[in-house]
Amino acid sequence: MDLFKKCYEFTRADDIKKAGLYPYFRPIEENEGPVVQIEGRKVVMAGSNNYLGLTAHPKVKEAALEAVKKYGTGCSGSRYLTGTLDLHIELENRLAKFFGTEAVLLFSTGYQSAQGIIPTLVQGKNEYVVSDKDNHACIVAGQIMAKGLTANLERYKHNDMDDLDRVLSKLPIDSPKLVVSDGVFSTGGEIVDLPKLVALAKKYNARTLIDDAHSVGVIGKGGRGTASEFNLEKDVDLTMGTFSKTFASLGGFVAGEERVINYLKHHSSALIFSASPTPAAVAAALAALDILEAEPWRVDKLISNANKIRKELSEAGFKIIDGRTAIVPVIVGNDELAFAMWRKLYDAGVFVNVFISPGVPQGRQMMRTSYMSTHEDEHLDFIIDTFKKTGKELGLI
């Protein structure tokens, strides 16, 4: 049996391309925020995680350019050795102050952060990772790595605190445990029931790790994330996140107690054996943090925009996963219909993300839309009108 046999036999993507319905890997030629150029024409972007619209902000772009002039294009080493710049330390200190934690550690990507945290902390045969079934793929990867190091993996039903109680109650009370959850779930946009999760973690002697990739800049006081949203800043043990969304850059971080961050800094393979975040990426994230702190109105505008879409599409008859974040999922129901709807929306000038099985359960295939603080009413009205027209053509409304 040839190892590559599975590769040669995979034709699903080719079939969708031949049908003219392939929605993935579309190259963006110009990025102006709410409007982008793809394949030579302007389309309204309703699928980006550029929540505060800062990737095109002059101050963010200028900060990245100045960092390249001063430091060059890369660090050519890990943080552990020759890859630490004063910029890295400045951003870590600024983020620790922003989140009200003792310390922060940067990783080269958000995805890598989970792999740098979970298997570093949870390794032993009597230790447990307890995870929401809908957690992001980066968390799943970190859990698999921990399991490979002889740790145990337990999962509970999505955002179901009764089921989390059931799972935790079966574990040895004196065994080390880490409860891990998205803060805002990346597919459906729901917010974790953090008060109950924290209470259960304390009840069963567990630590907590919350992934705020889709929370920072979206919920909480001044966009400070999930713990801030529920006034539980002192009760969440670790918060991780990314710079690829609100912070208009690339990289990841974890915030928590200084002693825990110090341990990760000296034991995390993902940190020690990876080149550090580039100067331009760190400088861009610093500039984005400056803007977030100085202009908290952007968070309010973001949620107002998403709420307008949520209300209008729901009233039009679309099946919407209710929420109060930047993510507004429109349920379509099967793969073929999802691809067809994407094509019609795209041809009409609206770009969205298509989530199909097995990435989402059967029946939950969706147009996963997301919004920015820089969307204006004219953009939102165009998105709404285009969805209504397309929904009627396909019999969804």
Number of domains forming the structure of the chain: 2
Question: Taken in order 201, 222, 55, 39, is the CA torsion positive or negative?
Answer: positive
Instruction: Flag residues of the chain having pLDDT under 70.
Output: none
Q: Which of 266, 294, 322 is the last residue of a domain?
A: 294
119 with 145, same domain: the answer is yes
Q: Are residues 222 and 352 in the same domain?
A: no
pLDDT of residue 124: 93
CATH number of the domain enclosing 263: 3.40.640.10
User: Residue 32 has what pLDDT?
Assistant: 82
CATH number at residue 346: 3.90.1150.10
The last residue of one of the domains, among 273, 294, 315, is 294
Residue 38 pairs in a beta bridge with 28, 41
355: left (phi over 0), alpha (psi -120 to 50) or beta: beta
**Tally of CB atoms within 10 A around 221:** 13
Residue-level pLDDT at 345: 98
Element spanning 254, H or E: strand 252-256
Res 375: pLDDT: 98
- Structure pTM? 0.96
User: Residue 117's pLDDT is what?
Assistant: 98
Distance between CA atoms of residues 325 and 192, nearest Å: 12
**What pLDDT is stored for residue 357 in this prediction?**
87
pLDDT score, position 268 = 97
Look at residue 365 and tell me if it is in a domain.
yes
Same-domain status, 230 and 311: no
pLDDT at residue number 207: 98
- Residue 242 in any domain: the answer is yes
Domain match, 309 and 285 both = no
CA 162 to chain centre: 25
Residues 130, 241, single domain; the answer is yes
Q: What is the pLDDT of residue 359?
A: 83
Of 240, 261, 294, the position where a domain reaches its end is 294
- Say yes or no: 275 and 351 in one domain: no
- Distance separating alpha carbons of residues 84 and 75, to the nearest angstrom: 8
The pLDDT assigned to 376 comes to 97
Is 52 inside any structural domain? no
Please report, as a single letter, which amino acid is at residue 243.
F
**Segments forming the whole domain that contains residue 320:** 16-45+296-393
